Every structure is written in C-alpha cells, then in structure tokens.
C-alpha cells in the first residue's frame, strides 16, 4: 500500500490518507477482506500521529469502504449490489468531529481505573474510600430527616456558592487544620477534579506554563493540557517536591500556577516535609506565583499527628486550597470545596452559576449534619485505625517480597503504596498479566506526563478491599512476579 502525503496542501492529512486508501481499494490494489495495517503501524509508516490514522479509518468506515472487527482490526468491506432505487448514505465521521486532544482521553488510566468494580477481580488499583465505615441505618435516618425538614417547601436546591450553613461548618473544620477562612472564601463543588477544572479554565490561558510535581495524577495533567497550557514537571524525593528545582523552574519559566498534592501524594504516598511547605510559600511570595494545593488524604495519617496544609502558612492569600471528602465520607457521595481569596471565589461562583444548573443538595446537607454533630471527626479516627491495619498487612507482605527485588517505602498515611518492580519487569506488560491472574493494579507510567518514567513502578491501593481479599491479591502479585521473572 503506497500513500503519499503532502503537508503543504490545505487538505487535512487524515483526508489525504483516506483518499489514498480509497484509491487503492477502487483500483483493486487492495482487495475485499484484505486486512489493513493497525492504526499504530500505519502511523509509524507515514510518520503521523495515531489520531490522524484513526480519523482516516473512521472516514472510510463512514463511507462503508472498510469494517473493523475486534481481534482482527480493520479490513476492506465486501461490496454488495444495492437494489435499484436505493440510495446509500454516508455516516457522520464522529472521530473527525472530536478535537484531537480528546481522542486519547478514554485510554489507559480510565480503562484501568474502571476495573475496580469487577467482583471477579481483586482491586488494588482504585482510589476509593474504605467502604462500610458509616452505619447504614444512621445514614438512612439522617437522609429521611433532611428530606422531611426541607421537603415542606420542596426546595431541594443549593446556592451556587454552596449551602451557607455547610460553609459555616467548614470554617470550623478548617480551623482544626490551621486554616483561617470566612464563609465568603469557600466555594462548594462535587470533587477535586471538578474544582481543578474550574480553576484552570478561569486562571490559565492557552500557552501559559503550569508547574507540578512528577509523578502526578493523570487527572491533574490532563486538565492542564486540555486548557491548552504547557506543563513543566519537577522531580520528587522522599520529602516531596524538590524545592531547589522548583525555584529554578519558577525563575526560568515564570509559570502561571504551581499545582501541588501536599499530603500523602498520589501515587507515591509521600508527605511534603514541613521545611518544604514553608519553602514553597517563600517561593510563591518571592516570585508572585499562586499555588493550587489539592488535599484529600491529609486526615488519613497513621502516626501521632499530621502536618498543617501549605494554606495554613499563607499570609498573603497566594494559595488556593482544595479539600475533598472523597476518601473519608460515604463512597459515592462526593463533596469538595475550594478556599481562596474572596474576590477570586466571587468570580468563581459566577462561573459555577453559568456551568451548573444545580448542585448536589443532599450531600451538602449530610456533610453539614455529620460535621455539626461531631460524627465526622469520630469517623476519621475509625478510618485511621482501619486503614493502618490494612497498610501494615500489605506492607508486611511486600517486605517478604524484597528478596525478589521488590522495593517500596512504607507510607505514613493516605491510601497508596508506590512499588518498584524487580528488574527487568515492565509495569506496562506486567499489569495485564496480573489482571489475567485476577488482580487489578495501576501501572506507574500513567503518572508521568512526559512519558519518561514509571515503567518500573506500580501503584497499590490498600483501603478498598477487605483484609481477606488483600491477602489473596498479594498472593497473586507474588505469583505474577515469579512467573514474569521465570
């Protein structure tokens, strides 16, 4: 198959490819039922992006010239004689309608993460809160009472900035973390990803520089990239982001924002040291660059105490703080909030009012009730006790695999263990093998936006499964390592 591409033409590259293949089919150079090269293979042959080939094949499928079969790939369709008077239409090429930056989104991280709900597989790759921590009967009573109290007027809506009483409860909650705020400095949202998306879209323009640590959650770097910003990463060590590197990057690139996951970092489980928290604030104040600090695991500390967030040391209102209840409340009832400068929150609330028709009224009322009655604070102690037992169970078993070459640092909190596989294992191929054996994990490379690392690492979650299933999962992990090492 010979396809010529002229990048000087105004015709899109994908259309040139589609036209070239169509010509070969019409001339008989490519016969019916012939298997076409895979998207990846053709992209390499033509030195183009894989998305370009995807669009070309989608165009040909829309015209009915090719088909695709799972396990086989793309093949030339059989020609059928249409009956007289029948007009054959053309399907819309939806792949062409979708912007390139969205075409790669549903792969790898999302597909792997969705595996957590497969009951026939043991999930140690999810980022889900420990289930069963909240009493169902008590939860049912509270929901019934909330609906009964509010339902007299059947007014089940929340102001766009969030429920006023909840924001006042959050002021008290924040004081336990050393953060001073007023209800007017708080914006309620559903989850960390939504909060980050609103902030990035409001603050970042295409071409702006955003700095974050690496490895970093795909949710963070994809949000930045979809906004058209350029991401620059700074390496970490056991104490968190390297501040000497960070300061050099800030001086050189003058970024719009610094994004940090300060407590029990995803995926490494590391804690940004107190010295570096203060250094990050110093860098922000010196170079006048704002910080977005996202924080959902800080209450899950398994030692004597936790560090205060970076926001607690923020004298000049330079830090935008995002907290989430996703790991410490009822799984599936998600709630997050932003604490920031009052003027910024005012503009953010206006943006929220434009984007959202309604907010999750019931979850806001539930969180308010659990905070007001002190139940949430007591539940945090139960989460810490249960998660510490699971962490110790997992880490003790991983210690026994050290003779195989497995390496890790025991986290002092959070929900993840960041493991280095024995050489020469590659997590990209190891994960499918573990999954076929019955264990779901996440490969380390999805946490490296520069595609330069993580192939020798896996992320393990120890909070979702029961202790019995964790033991089964660790046995599968060891079995898979032994199989791959031969």
Domain boundaries, the chain: 1-81, 109-127+381-485, 151-373
Q: pTM of the entire structure?
A: 0.82
Q: What is the Cβ-side half-sphere exposure of residue 223, based on CA atoms within 13 angstroms?
A: 22
The answer to whether the Cα torsion of 425, 426, 432, 438 is positive or negative is positive
Among the four given CATH numbers 3.40.50.12280, 3.40.640.10, 3.40.50.2000, 3.10.450.50, the one describing domain 151-373: 3.40.640.10
Q: What is the pLDDT, as a whole number, of residue 86?
A: 52
Pairing of strands 257-261, 240-241: unpaired
Residue 267: is the preceding peptide bond cis (ω within 30°)?
yes
482: its two tokens: 């032994």
| Phi and psi angles of residue 264, each rounded to the nearest 5 degrees, phi first | 50, 65
Report the CATH architecture of 109-127+381-485.
Alpha-Beta Complex (3.90)
pLDDT for the residue 424? 95
CA 241 and chain centroid, separation? 19
Residue 184's CB: how many other CB atoms inside 10 A? Answer: 14
Distance CA(140)–CA(473), nearest Å, equals 33
Tokens of 485: 């090492």
Q: In what order do the strands lie in the sheet with 416-420?
A: 407-408, 416-420, 457-461, 442-443
Q: Which fold would CATH assign to domain 1-81?
A: Arc Repressor Mutant, subunit A (1.10.10)
* pLDDT tens over the chain, length 486 residues: 778 888 888 888 999 999 999 988 888 888 888 889 888 889 888 988 888 999 899 889 888 899 887 777 898 988 765 444 455 566 677 767 777 666 654 445 555 555 555 667 899 988 888 889 999 999 999 999 988 887 666 566 788 899 999 999 999 999 999 999 999 999 999 999 999 999 999 999 999 999 999 999 998 998 998 899 999 999 999 999 999 999 999 999 999 999 999 999 999 999 999 999 999 999 999 999 999 999 999 999 998 778 999 999 999 999 999 999 999 999 888 999 999 999 999 999 999 999 887 788 899 999 999 999 999 999 999 999 999 999 999 999 999 999 999 999 999 999 999 999 999 999 989 999 999 999 999 999 999 987 778 999 999 999 999 999 999 999 999 999 999 998
Q: Quick one: tokens of 467?
A: 């202790």
Strands 209-214 and 230-237: parallel
Q: Environment class of residue 281 by beta-carbon count within 10 Å: exposed (0-12), middle (13-18) or buried (19+)?
A: buried
- Confirm whether 109-127+381-485 and 151-373 share one CATH topology: no
Q: What are phi and psi of 189, to 5 degrees?
A: -140, -175
Contacts for 253 with CB less than 8 Å, ≥ 6 apart: 209, 211, 232
Give the strand pairing for 407-408 and 240-241: unpaired
CA distance 188 to 195: 9
Tell me the pairing of strands 457-461 and 442-443.
Answer: antiparallel
pLDDT of residue 383: 96
Residue 181 CB coordination number (10 Å): 20
What is the Cα–Cα distance from 369 to 166, expressed in whole angstroms?
A: 9
According to the model, what pLDDT value does residue 34 have? 87
User: Do β-strands 291-295 and 319-324 pair in parallel, antiparallel, or remain unpaired?
Assistant: parallel
Q: How far is CA 472 from CA 113, 306, 464, in A?
A: 20, 31, 14
Burial class (CB in 10 A: 0-12, 13-18, 19+), 179: buried
CA atoms within a 13 Å half-sphere pointing along the CA-CB vector of 182: 8
pLDDT at 106: 45
Rounded Cα distance, 285 and 192, in Å: 25
What's the distance, CA 114 to chain centroid?
A: 12
Closest by Cα among 238, 236, 230 to 211 = 230
Strand partners, 407: 420
Tell which residue, 52, 40, 46, 66, has the closest CA to residue 13.
52
Of 8, 458, 371, nearest to 171 by C-alpha is 371
Q: What is the pLDDT of residue 192?
A: 93
Residue 15: CA count within 13 A, CB half-sphere: 7
Burial label for 55, CB within 10 Å (0-12, 13-18, 19+), is: buried
d(CA 41, CA 20): 16
Contact 442, 459 (CB under 8 A): yes
For residues 116 and 464, the answer to whether their CB atoms sit within 8 Å is yes
Compute CA distances 37 → 7, 17, 105, 147, whole Å.
Answer: 22, 13, 23, 58
Please tell me the distance from the alpha carbon of residue 450 to that of residue 448, in angstroms, as a whole number.
Answer: 5
């Amino acid at each position: 198959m010979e396809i010529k591409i002229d990048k000087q033409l105004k015709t899109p590259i994908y259309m040139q490819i589609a036209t070239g293949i169509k010509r070969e089919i019409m001339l008989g150079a490519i016969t019916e039922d012939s298997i076409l090269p895979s998207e990846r293979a053709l992209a390499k042959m033509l030195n183009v992006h894989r998305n370009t080939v995807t669009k070309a094949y989608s165009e040909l499928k829309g015209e009915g010239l090719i088909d695709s079969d799972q396990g086989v790939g793309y093949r030339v369709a059989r020609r059928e004689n249409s009956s007289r008077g029948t007009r054959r239409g053309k399907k819309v090429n939806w792949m062409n309608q979708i912007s390139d930056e969205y075409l790669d989104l549903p792969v790898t991280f999302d597909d792997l993460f969705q595996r957590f709900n497969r009951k026939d597989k043991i999930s140690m790759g999810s980022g889900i809160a420990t289930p069963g921590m909240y009493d169902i009967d008590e939860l049912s009573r509270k929901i019934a009472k909330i609906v009964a109290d509010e339902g007299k007027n059947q007014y089940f809506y929340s102001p766009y900035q969030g429920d006023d009483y909840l924001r006042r409860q959050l002021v008290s909650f924040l004081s336990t973390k050393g953060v001073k705020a007023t209800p007017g400095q708080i914006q309620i949202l559903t989850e960390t990803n939504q909060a980050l998306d609103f902030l990035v879209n409001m603050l970042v323009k295409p071409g702006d520089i955003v700095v974050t640590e690496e490895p970093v959650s795909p949710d963070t770097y994809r949000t930045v990239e979809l906004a058209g910003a350029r991401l620059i990463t700074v390496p970490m060590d056991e104490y968190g982001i390297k501040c000497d590197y960070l300061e050099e990057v800030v001086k050189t690139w003058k970024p719009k924002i610094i994004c940090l996951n300060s407590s029990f970092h995803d995926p490494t489980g590391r804690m940004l040291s107190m010295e570096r928290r203060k250094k990050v604030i110093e860098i922000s104040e010196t170079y006048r660059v704002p910080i977005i600090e996202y924080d959902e695991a800080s209450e899950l500390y398994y030692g004597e105490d936790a560090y205060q967030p970076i926001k607690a040391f923020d004298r000049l209102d330079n830090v935008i703080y995002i907290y989430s209840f996703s790991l410490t409340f009822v799984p599936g009832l998600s709630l997050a909030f932003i604490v920031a400068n009052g003027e910024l929150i005012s503009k953010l609330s206006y943006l929220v009012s434009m984007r959202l028709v309604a907010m999750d009224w019931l979850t806001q009322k539930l969180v308010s009730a659990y905070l007001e009655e002190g139940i949430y604070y007591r539940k945090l102690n139960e989460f810490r006790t249960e998660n510490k037992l699971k962490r110790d169970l997992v880490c003790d078993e991983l210690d026994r695999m050290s003779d195989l070459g497995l390496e890790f640092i025991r986290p002092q909190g959070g929900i993840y263990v960041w493991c280095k596989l024995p050489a020469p294992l590659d997590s990209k191929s190891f994960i499918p093998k573990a999954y076929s054996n019955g264990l779901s994990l996440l490969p380390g490379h999805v946490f490296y936006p520069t595609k330069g690392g993580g192939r020798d690492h896996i992320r393990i979650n120890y909070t979702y499964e029961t202790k019995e299933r964790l033991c089964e999962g660790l046995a599968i992990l060891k079995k898979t390592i032994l199989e791959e090492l031969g």
